[in-house]
Structure 1
């Protein structure tokens, strides 16, 4: 439905710390009016009555791996952005560890070109830092790119930045927000040697959080924070997984004034090491899912604002790849289709309010990355909106999974909430399991 004017009636609007009944008028790509009651002023206005369901800003996922170019047997920008739209994620920021890696301006622009043709959701990309591409980093226009991504612990792809002098030079030389994956490589290698000598390649998966340990995470995160404080760099620490790391972050100042911020991912809020016996390598992530105590402390830090953002780290692999023995099974899993409904489930369980959920998934990514006119339901902002029916149970199964890899760590889970409509830049692109108008996506822009 590509209508010039759309009127959303009878919404429970979740926005800026409040849940309020009202209507939303969309004109072209933008929100024209938000009010208690709005009347259609002509027959040309398309009226959508959402019948008391929740309307929230489109979710902004600041960390995804859509695998294109080079790894498209697992996923691609088209398939995964389509799954994201069905899950209420209207904007994504994708990571640089593709094949080839996004570590030159030329490769970055090639990704933007692909997304401009195939993405269902709004898009941006992070530029990748390595031990030897500082000259390319300095060419990056901070108004056009979401951030700089550094792997301080090796993950998918060989992008480990492990030269301390290079690291300090990067931190000192760029105005870009620096997003980091923090796990200490030396600690992990020593742990791997110990467990490989004991078990060979088929290490029991329950040992994953011992190999990629609390110590490995904390050592790397604390060093990155120390370096950011020394150089004045703007640092964002991805996917916290331990209770200990949460103590490194502050909630004493507003997000817009923070120089050091943190994120937690859906899987670290949902699973614990008790789930390895059932889920096996399907929940093998880096950093590892750790203890129930870690999970509880991550929730506390999220709710008291030491952790600023909830993301997915959507990182699909084929089932064949994931079912390898421990040492050969890759880390990562698909999450964009189920992230919002999983957080809604946490709301139903009394763990988080709707207002706080929207703050962490919609408002804060927009503030943190200085994304222009998104992340809020405000007049003059792009009409990226999601309608959620909080009482429409459904069970995740092979028939309704949209990821190219065809599986989900949530298979068999029944969610109480369902995304019914997704609007992107004023266009209704998803309506009750049907995709409409696949060409409404735009490149994200930044107010810097």
Structure 2
């Protein structure tokens, strides 16, 4: 691999911002210092730019295998890299579901050939695959995924005995989607009685409401506390759920952690008027008080990680009536820019963005030698220009589905370069796909 010298960057790392050079050799960070004079195959003048550790997104849906008309690992990994995400952890509700070791490894084989970003894939749990789940290697797989609420796909785990067994025996982090299925069904019946097949999209957060989220999250937390499980609750969407999480101990000591997604911080119920089913997702985007509460919970460290739950569908699929339109929003390309917008608005600091999008996922999943700008670590790095506006268009949005809710929106910041495991995968709007990403490994 060629060596790279990044000069005069503003490093944002481990709570500090300082000017430094970074030398990359053999895919790793060889040296961090002032005025590095070593020879390199390529030099990047980063004057006026900020250098961040690459984003680690712990929740995406890249749709391969089986749903590749919507997306695939190759296209979505490219989009991720263009937005500064260097590593992703992908969900098992593909077709077939990744619920056996063989099917799980099939996804790794696809990624090894096609993914521009570093990658890991969750093992999926069902009501009847406990033996397969327990075979999962904790050093090479990010975690186990449980849908405690059906969401999309057919992986609802609602057998109490199965849940007890997984929570008591799993050697990996358990990541859960928490919505109570019965509460949702009861609410749906009420709204079908009122509106028939013409339920307004603004009813989505009333059908998949606060009670459904809290009831399921509460049950997951109680199970984890009972068995000492390493539990990670995905996409928290309500202010009420924050009371379930601690902020009085360091992240390294937490057994129960929580994630917030960019769309739950950005949008609220009033945005259904403009975006309609484009922003239909599970859990639902809810009233503005939740958006405000989630930001507060993030700043107070009750919410540990920022992710996307990137979930593309075709534009035509999203245009159906409320019940027919699938849930999910394509977000991975613009997640870092969304949070940098919060920096511009004074809602977050750069240091906090890096903490929640890079450092914390690395800590939470025990990712080996990534998530920080440290000598000896893999060179997963992102250069951003905080003063270069960027307008999202159909032409510069790289999802296979071909659309984004941000089309036409101008962000105040741009991603100029993304290095993945020491390879300049993206630079000034152009990709270099001559080297693929690496499989993530975990120190457990």
Q: What TM-score bracket applies, with the shorter chain setting the length?
A: over 0.9
Residue number in structure 1 paired with 2:411: 415
2:132 to 129, 132, 136: 136
1:346 shift after superposition:
0.5
Verify: 1:426 aligned to 2:422, yes or no.
yes
1:339 shift after superposition:
0.2
Residues in 1 aligned to 2:135 and 2:407: alpha-carbon distance in whole angstroms: 44
Residues in 1 aligned to 2:355 and 2:34: alpha-carbon distance in whole angstroms: 22
1:438 shift after superposition:
4.0
| Mapping of residues 241-256 of structure 1, within 5 Å | 241-256=237-252
How many residue pairs end up in the alignment? 444
Provide, for residues 315-360 of structure 1, a one-character-per-residue CA deviation record: whole Å limited to 9, x for no partner.
0000111000000100001011100000000100000000000000
What stretches of structure 1 move > 4 A for 4+ residues in a row? Answer: none
Residue number in structure 2 paired with 1:37: 35
Residues in 2 aligned to 1:252 and 1:201: alpha-carbon distance in whole angstroms: 47
Residues in 1 aligned to 2:315 and 2:198: alpha-carbon distance in whole angstroms: 17
Verify: 1:296 aligned to 2:304, yes or no.
no
Q: Report if the CA contact (8 A) 1:428-1:437 is conserved.
A: no
Residues in 1 aligned to 2:198 and 2:107: alpha-carbon distance in whole angstroms: 37
1:165 to 133, 136, 161: 161
Q: Report if the CA contact (8 A) 2:71-2:399 is conserved.
A: yes
Residue number in structure 1 paired with 2:283: 287
Q: Secondary structure at the match of 1:400?
A: coil
What TM-score, normalized to structure 2?
0.99
Provide, for residues 342-388 of structure 1, a one-character-per-residue CA deviation record: whole Å limited to 9, x for no partner.
00001000000000000000000001000000000000000010000
Gaps of 5+ in 1: none
Residues in 1 aligned to 2:72 and 2:355: alpha-carbon distance in whole angstroms: 29
Verify: 1:382 aligned to 2:378, yes or no.
yes
Residues in 2 aligned to 1:121 and 1:200: alpha-carbon distance in whole angstroms: 44
Could you say what the CA RMSD is over the residues aligned between the two structures, in angstroms? 0.8
1:103 to 82, 87, 99: 99
Residue number in structure 2 paired with 1:12: 10
Q: Report if the CA contact (8 A) 2:229-2:255 is conserved.
A: yes
Verify: 1:92 aligned to 2:88, yes or no.
yes
Provide, for residues 250-271 of structure 1, a one-character-per-residue CA deviation record: whole Å limited to 9, x for no partner.
1011111100000000000000
Verify: 1:183 aligned to 2:179, yes or no.
yes
Residues in 1 aligned to 2:421 and 2:162: alpha-carbon distance in whole angstroms: 40
2:218 to 193, 201, 222: 222
Q: Secondary structure at the match of 1:267?
A: helix
Gaps of 5+ in 2: none
